[in-house]
Amino acid sequence: MKKQFWTSILGLALATLSLSSNAVSQEVPELTLQQAEQLREQALESTLALDITASLTTEVGARLPGTDADKKAVEWGMAKLQSLGFDKVWKEPVSIPVWLRLHESAEVIAPFPQNLIISALGGSVSTPKNGLEAEIIHFDSIEALESSADGSANNKIVYISKRMEKHSSGRGYGDAGPARFRGAASAAKKGAIGLVIRSIGTDSQRSPHTGVTSYEDGVTKIPAAALSNPDADQLDRILAHNKTTTMRLNIQTEVLPDATTYNVIGEITGSERPDEIVAIGGHLDSWDQGTGAVDDASGIGITVAAAKLIAQQQRPKRTIRVVMFGAEEIGVFGGKQYALDHADELAKHIIGAESDGGAGKVLALSSSVSHESLHVVDEMLKLMAPLGVVRSSAKATGSADFGPMVRAGMPAVGLVQDFTPYFDIHHTPDDTFDKIVPEELAQNVAAWVIFVKLAADWPGRFN
Amino acid sequence: MKKQFWTSILGLALATLSLSSNAVSQEVPELTLQQAEQLREQALESTLALDITASLTTEVGARLPGTDADKKAVEWGMAKLQSLGFDKVWKEPVSIPVWLRLHESAEVIAPFPQNLIISALGGSVSTPKNGLEAEIIHFDSIEALESSADGSANNKIVYISKRMEKHSSGRGYGDAGPARFRGAASAAKKGAIGLVIRSIGTDSQRSPHTGVTSYEDGVTKIPAAALSNPDADQLDRILAHNKTTTMRLNIQTEVLPDATTYNVIGEITGSERPDEIVAIGGHLDSWDQGTGAVDDASGIGITVAAAKLIAQQQRPKRTIRVVMFGAEEIGVFGGKQYALDHADELAKHIIGAESDGGAGKVLALSSSVSHESLHVVDEMLKLMAPLGVVRSSAKATGSADFGPMVRAGMPAVGLVQDFTPYFDIHHTPDDTFDKIVPEELAQNVAAWVIFVKLAADWPGRFN
């Protein structure tokens, strides 16, 4: 016990030494810490993020890239930032493909005729006008499909039944997601003429989960759709009868000529280092069947509200830039375009973070910063501790839209949210405003104001 | 304290006296009580009800009266009762109207264009082929609509926003339901050309709740639909902007010539009083968008399993009759026909009960029996106590399908279920097998075997 005691004391002393050595070089000003704490408390009381989220989801609703609603979303974003008094508001064009869902239906023909509810996967080609009818071949996972014999799915509809597991980390998405990401291409390589997958989602509602599927050059493009989880359960029960099971699939989609959407950008100009940018944001677009409330109106609401609350207290020393990215859902078009457009500004991006994990509570803070600046992250964590936020050992990626900037060298943090509720409604018709828990959304803003305030007012660099 | 002590002793003595006086006249045989207790334990372990429910919902699926699926359900019912070894299995024709849902869509045109998810109410007439477009007039409740001025809704679409409250008793259905039951007629009387209501349901999913709406003779029939709760929330938020709100409503339905469906009936013949009937059952039909798992495949599963488990133990003294009623959803056609067909057998119906409250646990036992036979209900309650079942002070009605028989004089009990989960999915696409909790379904069967066994083997009458 004595030995342990002295080891602890020694550890503490070393830790203190290490902290001070950083702190001496580039300390976070005490006033900044006090202001951040005050902002945290204000954020917990504020309904600004909720109001912004309600406004986007109600006044615009669903906003698939390239549609009229997408144009309205851009107008909404410009007007919202202007009305909130951002110093500069502008938009930057992003060229995008336009894919539209026109019709989707599925039915079991034999042995037990009945309708099933599906959602065409984003980018799916159409079936023939009257649909296609074929025998189902069932695989437990995409790995089972990919390791099956050549021609195993010839002229059949492949069905992949793997169920996404529910974890607060959302890691089930990585396990089950590939059935959607590359399932259509993998099935076509085995001769299939169609693909249906169990939705990549953790709910038991008849709201199927859409999302992009990718085709491969040189591989036949086959129509692809997701069954809702209850419908996949039903198909599993039907298949358990071990009778030849046939399905009719009718998916009608349309690809329009490429169009232009926009990244909408607003800035609060910094008082001391206006050329240095703390970049935050979310994505403005959404899938077409819900109103994109948790994906990602809430991310827009959280980050816009955080910037506004900070500006209301005192002009930040660095510039806070909020980016409402365009066309994330269909392939991170806005995020990639932003990195291209701002390549020469990379060094000015002191740090960045996107909110694109829904409206669940922030559970942890990840980072991708230099060792020398980690103590600022420590200060953020101290202030976030009352919110229940702990350190994440994962490296911050910048999320989808700031990913290209982070890969190019921009430092980042990640405010890692609870994914437990998120994947129940992600990419479904049920991603609607009523699913947002106001207190959890406010907790997000409280965590974000701490990160943004410290990053904006601390004089050092994160790389 | 002393006084209280003596009062208790006195009360106990009186209670004992009262119990014995009944018990002497017509006691439940000790063997019956023992057998019922054994059946209860067997039922808790049995998956028979679950298997029957899975079979109907999987092999037939949705089964709207008058459709091919409805015919399949009748065949399924006959085959299921035969395969389970019921002594007699037959069907009795029921003449029904046939209403089909062909298309339903709704969109807000102004001020914020977007799609809303609706379900046409059962029996709704069609809009013109391309839909109708009109201004929305909002009422908080059907009472507000009905007390509004003549012509208040002229050429408008009436929207009733009252939300159904969630209670284990399901009493919110009685409060909110009239907006559906008579809303179309009430709106038409005020000049409306269409009706949309907030779904009569307690969930927050984009699965709207259908169900019959009734027109009135001499009142214009207008198309009627229910918005899902999230869509009603959205419309409420849109209306809160106080701008003229217009909607396009497109409902296409079809009425086919009257058709014949069936009440499917199976009997376990009684060993001592074969002419005396304990009548139980559920309804075989369902709405068209879910697979009618909790409404009412589970009621079929529970009652068929209860009869089968009892028969397996020892032939009951009275005949147990299981009725799978046809066409309940569209207006209790099977239940009414049964009462007509069996009017001369009324006295032979010793007691009856329908299971049509879903798959939630039985919480209470209600009854409508003579005072002299109440002690049998007491014995049932004693045996049900370990299942958490308490006495309900409500009078048993025979539920929808045995209602006409009970009103004609048939004694009844009611195994009153927990309605908390039921009204989340009642009449929605989400009424699917996965929503059933196996343990809760088994608890139902355990309660039902007690009721049926005692009713079948006790020698007295309930009226």
pLDDT digits (tens, 9 = 90+) for B207-236: 999 999 999 999 999 999 999 999 999 999
Q: Which of B104, B328, B329, B354 is catalytic?
A: B328
Instruction: Enumerate the residues of chain B whose CB falls inside 8 A of the CB of residue A242.
Output: none
Residue B229 C-alpha, separation from nearest chain A C-alpha, in angstroms: 9
Answer yes or no: do B434 and A230 touch at CB < 8 A. yes
Least confident of B17-21, B144-148, B401-405: B17-21
Instruction: Enumerate the residues of chain A whose CB falls inside 8 A of the CB of residue B239.
Output: none
Instruction: Enumerate the residues of chain A whose CB falls inside 8 A of the CB of residue B115.
Output: 61-62
Which amino acid would we find at residue A255?
Answer: V
Pairwise pLDDT comparison (B90 vs A1), residue with the higher score: B90
Helical segments of B314-398, H only? 333-341, 374-384
> Sign (positive/negative) of CA torsion B196, B202, B203, B209?
negative
How many C-beta atoms surround the C-beta of residue A347 within 10 A? 13
Closest by Cβ to A237, choosing from B58, B62, B113: B58
pLDDT of residue A21: 41
* Same-domain status, A193 and A315: no
Over 70: is that where the pLDDT of B259 sits?
yes
* Same-domain status, A145 and A252: yes
Q: Which of B55, B56, B210, B434 to mutate to test the interface with A (most CBs of A within 10 A)?
A: B434
* Same-domain status, A190 and A300: no
pLDDT band at B17 (very low <50, low <70, confident <90, very high): very low
> Looking at residue A190, which CATH number applies to its domain?
3.50.30.30
Over 70: is that where the pLDDT of B6 sits?
no
- For residue B261, report the phi and psi dihedrals to the nearest 5 degrees: -120, -170
Answer yes or no: do B234 and A433 touch at CB < 8 A. yes
Answer yes or no: do A54 and B237 touch at CB < 8 A. yes
> Looking at residue A42, which CATH number applies to its domain?
3.40.630.10
Instruction: Enumerate the residues of chain B whose CB falls inside 8 A of the CB of residue A230.
Output: 430, 432-435
DSSP E strands, A111-211: 114-116, 118-120, 132-139, 157-160, 194-198
Residue A117 C-alpha, separation from nearest chain B C-alpha, in angstroms: 9
The residue of chain B with its CA nearest to that of A429 is B206
Which 8-state DSSP code applies to residue B34?
A: H
pLDDT of residue A25: 52
**Which of residues A226, A256, A286 is at a domain's end?**
A256
How many C-beta atoms surround the C-beta of residue A447 within 10 A? 29
**Which of residues A256, A285, A311 is at a domain's end?**
A256
* Same-domain status, B285 and B373: yes
* Same-domain status, A277 and A414: yes
The whole-angstrom separation of Cα B395 and Cα B390 is 14
* Same-domain status, B351 and B451: yes
Flag whether A197 is in a domain: yes
* Same-domain status, B68 and B196: no
**Which of residues A229, A256, A283 is at a domain's end?**
A256
Least confident of A73-82, A305-314, B1-10, B264-273: B1-10
Average pLDDT score, chain B: 95
Residue B170 C-alpha, separation from nearest chain A C-alpha, in angstroms: 22
Write the pLDDT tens digit of every residue in A132-145. Answer: 999 999 999 999 99
Residue B290 C-alpha, separation from nearest chain A C-alpha, in angstroms: 9
Instruction: Enumerate the residues of chain A whose CB falls inside 8 A of the CB of residue B54.
Output: 237
Answer yes or no: do B114 and A61 touch at CB < 8 A. yes
The catalytic site residues of A sit at 328
Write the pLDDT tens digit of every residue in A102-157. Answer: 999 999 999 999 999 999 999 999 999 999 999 999 999 999 999 999 999 999 99
pLDDT of residue B233: 98
Q: Which of B64, B68, B103, B205 to mutate to test the interface with A (most CBs of A within 10 A)?
A: B205
Boundaries of domain holding B307: 27-87+269-457
* Same-domain status, B62 and B207: no
Flag whether A432 is in a domain: yes
- For residue A147, report the phi and psi dihedrals to the nearest 5 degrees: -95, 5
The whole-angstrom separation of Cα A460 and Cα A376 is 9
Answer yes or no: do A430 and B58 touch at CB < 8 A. no
Task: Please give the average per-residue pLDDT across A17-33, as a whole number.
Answer: 67
pLDDT band at B19 (very low <50, low <70, confident <90, very high): very low
Largest CA distance in chain B: 81
pLDDT band at A19 (very low <50, low <70, confident <90, very high): very low
Task: Please give the average per-residue pLDDT across A263-284, as a whole number.
Answer: 98
Residue with tokens 């036949």: A220
Query: How many domains, in total, are found in chain B?
Result: 2
pLDDT of residue B51: 98
Answer yes or no: do A432 and B59 touch at CB < 8 A. no
Instruction: Enumerate the residues of chain B whose CB falls inside 8 A of the CB of residue A117.
Output: 429
pTM of the model: 0.93
* Same-domain status, A311 and A392: yes
Residue B116 C-alpha, separation from nearest chain A C-alpha, in angstroms: 10
Task: Please give the average per-residue pLDDT across A377-391, as a whole number.
Answer: 98
Answer yes or no: do A432 and B233 touch at CB < 8 A. yes
pLDDT of residue A5: 41
Instruction: Enumerate the residues of chain B whose CB falls inside 8 A of the CB of residue A207.
Output: 205-207
Answer yes or no: do A112 and B61 touch at CB < 8 A. yes
Q: Answer for the pair A324, A387: CB distance below 8 angstroms, yes or no.
A: no
CA angle B82, B88, B93 (to 5 degrees): 90
Flag whether A12 is in a domain: no
pLDDT of residue A140: 98
The whole-angstrom separation of Cα B201 and Cα B232 is 12
Q: Chain B residues contacting A, CB < 8 Å?
A: 54, 57-62, 68-69, 112-115, 117, 204-207, 229-230, 233-234, 237-238, 241, 290-291, 429-430, 432-435
Over 60: is that where the pLDDT of B373 sits?
yes
pLDDT of residue B21: 41
Over 50: is that where the pLDDT of A174 sits?
yes
Over 90: is that where the pLDDT of A11 sits?
no
Flag whether B7 is in a domain: no
Q: Answer for the pair B10, B409: CB distance below 8 angstroms, yes or no.
A: no
The residue of chain B with its CA nearest to that of A240 is B58
Answer yes or no: do A114 and B291 touch at CB < 8 A. yes
Instruction: Enumerate the residues of chain A whose CB falls inside 8 A of the CB of residue B207.
Output: 205-207
Flag whether A21 is in a domain: no
Q: Answer for the pair A454, A421: CB distance below 8 angstroms, yes or no.
A: no
- The proportion of chain A whose per-residue pLDDT surpasses 90, expressed as a percent, equals 94
Write the pLDDT tens digit of every residue in B306-360. Answer: 999 999 999 999 999 999 999 999 999 999 999 999 999 999 999 999 999 999 9
Task: Please give the average per-residue pLDDT across B257-267, as a whole number.
Answer: 98
* Same-domain status, A298 and A426: yes
B165 given a catalytic annotation? no
* Same-domain status, A413 and A297: yes
Flag whether A378 is in a domain: yes
Answer yes or no: do A432 and B230 touch at CB < 8 A. yes
CB pairs under 8 A between A and B: 90
Q: Answer for the pair A196, A231: CB distance below 8 angstroms, yes or no.
A: no
Flag whether A337 is in a domain: yes
pLDDT of residue A282: 98
Complex ipTM more than 0.85, yes or no? yes
Q: Which of A58, A239, A294 to mutate to test the interface with B (most CBs of B within 10 A)?
A: A58
* Same-domain status, A61 and A102: no
Q: Which of A234, A241, A287 to mutate to test the interface with B (most CBs of B within 10 A)?
A: A234
Flag whether B3 is in a domain: no
